[in-house]
């Protein structure tokens, strides 16, 4: 059974983020708290209006907490929609109160329908398959370090975590600074430059519509984990590897590495990677190991990959992650994961940047 916590409040201030999301200060009966509003779904929330908030994440102290979310602007009723308002017939957030129409690349009203109708090959497109949203920036920077400023790097956001692409603060900055050319949201995720019904057509759209040199597939912010072998949303990494291979692409998987995570199951190679690539993926992928100075950590990683059968089932390569991280620093892009930055946990960020570097090499 699902339980939703909600309350009402009055908007005191509004700040529009680069993603288009409205960051609100809301008076909740004398308490001033933060909330996010998606104008595409609920319309704008001006100062002084009353809003109904979903407070569940904050009440539970979840990692994606810190914000409430506007469910409705009570003092104004206005139709709002995202995507094409006149021709789209594909529903996202289906069968919820927020279901909304969009123009998906595949549907008959789309100008790309004929192009995708019989498309069934990625024609060797390199695809970085990552687990966490925090891997996106270093992976994109790694590819860009190889391909240069004209690189067409496309991000495909899955629906395994945050559904609105606008929730990401990373994506607008990467687009602004030239590390991402375009975005696609697949499944129930929404808000990309293109909308796709599933990961297969999202990949094909990246190749044939957006002319990607490299595609990067990862969920949005907010991965779910339960401490069980298969109970985490990043299990999709193995499934996406298979989808890329099914379409004739070249998957490059990012290992989730950590030398700083206090949880034993994420030390060295995360159990997420060991499961997604050791058990879930049924086809072969390139797995990139970053060059590391810590020999004992490298040995630990090697043992874990061997025990999981990953070393024998997949193609392991070693590549530099420093070019990608240096580019992020040069561009002033700050990255973090689980509250840690590259200086705190070098293997995590080097692994993602190295995977991008390999994909860039494959593309070039």
User: Do 308 and 162 belong to one domain?
Assistant: yes
pTM attached to this predicted model:
0.94
Beta bridge pairs of residue 126: 250
User: Do 13 and 150 belong to one domain?
Assistant: no
Q: What is the 3-state secondary structure (H, E, C) of 223-237?
A: CCECCCCCCEHHHHH
The pLDDT score that the predictor gives to residue 157 is 98
Kindly provide the b/e burial profile for residues 69-87, where b requires at least 16 CB atoms within 10 angstroms of the residue's own CB: bbbbbeeeeeeeebbeeee
Over the stretch 255-280, which tens digit does the pLDDT of each residue have?
999 999 999 899 999 999 999 999 99
| Residue 41 counted as domain residue | yes
Please say whether the dihedral angle defined by the alpha carbons of residues 33, 34, 38 and 39, taken in this order, is positive or negative: positive
Taking alpha carbons only, the member of 115, 92, 7, 88 closest to residue 41 is 92
Residue that terminates a domain, selected from 73, 98, 129 = 73
User: Do 38 and 148 belong to one domain?
Assistant: no
Q: Residue 2's pLDDT band (boundaries 50, 70, 90)?
A: confident
**Total domains, the chain:** 2
User: Do 67 and 156 belong to one domain?
Assistant: no
User: Do 245 and 304 belong to one domain?
Assistant: yes
- Parallel, antiparallel or unpaired: strands 257-258 and 268-269: antiparallel
Beta bridge pairs of residue 51: 9, 73
Domain of 351, in residue numbers? 117-363
Mean pLDDT across 85-92: 79
Q: Is the pLDDT of residue 77 over 80?
A: no
Q: Residue 306's pLDDT band (boundaries 50, 70, 90)?
A: very high
| Residue 111 counted as domain residue | no
Q: Residue 314's pLDDT band (boundaries 50, 70, 90)?
A: very high
Q: Is the pLDDT of residue 73 over 80?
A: yes
User: Do 63 and 129 belong to one domain?
Assistant: no
User: Do 311 and 250 belong to one domain?
Assistant: yes
DSSP annotation of 294: -
Mean pLDDT across 172-184: 98
Q: What is the mean pLDDT of the chain?
A: 94
CATH number of the domain enclosing 179? 3.40.50
| Residue 1 counted as domain residue | no
Mean pLDDT across 66-70: 87
| Residue 337 counted as domain residue | yes
The pLDDT score that the predictor gives to residue 83 is 44
The pLDDT score that the predictor gives to residue 20 is 92
Residue that terminates a domain, selected from 19, 44, 73 = 73
User: Do 144 and 69 belong to one domain?
Assistant: no
Q: Residue 65's pLDDT band (boundaries 50, 70, 90)?
A: low
| Residue 264 counted as domain residue | yes
Taking alpha carbons only, the member of 114, 72, 107, 71 closest to residue 87 is 107
| Residue 155 counted as domain residue | yes
User: Do 132 and 57 belong to one domain?
Assistant: no
User: Do 267 and 135 belong to one domain?
Assistant: yes
Q: Is 172 helix (H, G, I), strand (E, B) or coil?
A: helix
| Residue 80 counted as domain residue | no
Q: Is the pLDDT of residue 104 over 90?
A: yes
User: Do 220 and 355 belong to one domain?
Assistant: yes
CATH number of the domain enclosing 68? 2.40.50.140
| Residue 110 counted as domain residue | no
Q: Is the pLDDT of residue 84 over 50?
A: no
Strand residues in the chain grouped as ranges (E): 6-16, 22-28, 31-37, 50-54, 68-73, 90-92, 100-102, 126-129, 153-158, 182-186, 194-196, 214-219, 250-254, 257-258, 268-269, 286-290, 315-319
- Look up residue 276 and give its two tokens: 């997604």
- Look up residue 93 and give its two tokens: 């957030």
User: Do 187 and 58 belong to one domain?
Assistant: no
């Amino acid at each position: 059974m699902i339980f939703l916590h909600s309350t009402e409040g009055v908007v005191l201030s509004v700040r529009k983020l680069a993603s288009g999301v409205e960051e609100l200060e809301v008076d909740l009966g004398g308490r001033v708290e933060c909330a996010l509003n998606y104008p595409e779904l609920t319309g704008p929330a001006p100062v002084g209006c009353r809003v109904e908030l979903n407070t569940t994440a904050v009440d539970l102290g979840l990692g994606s907490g810190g914000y409430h979310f506007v469910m409705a602007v009570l003092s104004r009723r206005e139709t709002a929609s995202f995507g094409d308002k006149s021709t789209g017939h594909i529903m996202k957030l289906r069968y919820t109160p927020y279901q909304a129409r969009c123009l998906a690349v595949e549907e008959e009203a789309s100008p790309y329908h004929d192009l995708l109708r019989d498309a069934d090959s990625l024609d060797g497109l390199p695809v970085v398959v990552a687990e966490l949203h925090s891997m996106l920036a270093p992976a994109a920077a790694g590819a860009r370090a190889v391909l240069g400023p004209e690189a067409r790097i496309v991000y495909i956001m899955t629906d395994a975590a945050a559904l609105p692409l606008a929730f990401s603060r990373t994506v607008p900055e990467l687009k602004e600074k030239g590390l991402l050319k375009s975005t696609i949201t697949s499944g129930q995720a929404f808000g990309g430059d293109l909308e796709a019904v599933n990961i297969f057509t999202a990949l094909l759209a990246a190749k044939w519509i957006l002319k990607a040199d490299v595609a990067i597939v990862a969920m949005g912010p907010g991965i779910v984990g339960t401490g069980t072998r298969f109970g985490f949303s990043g299990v999709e990494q193995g499934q996406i590897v298979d989808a890329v291979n099914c379409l004739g692409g070249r998957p490059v998987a990012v290992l989730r590495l950590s030398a700083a995570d206090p949880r034993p199951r994420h030390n060295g190679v995360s159990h997420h990677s060991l499961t997604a690539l050791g058990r879930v993926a049924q086809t072969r992928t390139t797995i990139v190991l970053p060059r590391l100075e810590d020999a004992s950590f490298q040995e630990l990683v090697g043992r874990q990959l061997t025990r999981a059968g990953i070393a024998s089932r997949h193609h392991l390569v070693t590549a530099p992650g420093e070019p990608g991280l240096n580019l992020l620093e040069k561009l002033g892009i700050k990255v973090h994961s689980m509250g840690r930055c590259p200086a705190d946990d070098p293997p995590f960020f080097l692994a993602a940047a190295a995977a991008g570097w390999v994909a860039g090499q494959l593309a070039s």
